[in-house]
Amino acid sequence: MIYNAYFKSPIGILEIKSSATHIFSIEFVEESDFEKQQINDLIHDCILQLTAYFSHQLHQFELPLAFNGSAFQNKVWQELQQIPFSTTCSYLQFAKKLGDAKCIRAAAAANARNPFAIVVPCHRVIGSNGKLVGYAGGLWRKQWLLEHEQAISLQTKLF
């Protein structure tokens, strides 16, 4: 059985889909049907973690994710999770982390197909010139997420 639910975040509605054992996707949507949600324990935990993230209380998500892409896409999505909270890296740096600077376009394409918004932090990958480029949820969301994480890091350092 596939379960689904919606989460109202400060930057838009996220649709969460899961089985009883794994999250399949977390994606921004324009339309939602809160009356037809099917929430299981896993989605409930995901919503709690997203709430904690947006409330400045969570830096690392711990959810069982079902990576259903090609071998290369799965490698990219796994590597994205290694980018530390509130830091960024360029697409070129990221391609080098994957082992081949020449795979920069393929890495960017896989990054764009990331099915786990926020939880797999593709928003932390930026252009080599430091500019924000490419985010499936929109560049304004990418900027918001990076500023949100910077504020949390700054707050943590002050206390």
Q: Could you tell me if 87 and 121 are in contact, meaning their C-beta atoms sit under 8 angstroms apart?
A: no
Answer whether 41's CB lies under 8 Å from 23's CB: no
Is 5:16 a contact under the CB 8 Å cutoff? Answer: yes
Of the listed 46, 89, 103, 122, which one is catalytic?
122
Residue 123 to residue 127: CA distance in whole angstroms: 11
Is 46 known to be catalytic? Answer: no
Distance CA 155, CA 84 (A): 16
DSSP state of 145: H
User: Count of H helices and E strands in the chain?
Assistant: 5, 5
Q: Which residues are catalytic?
A: 122
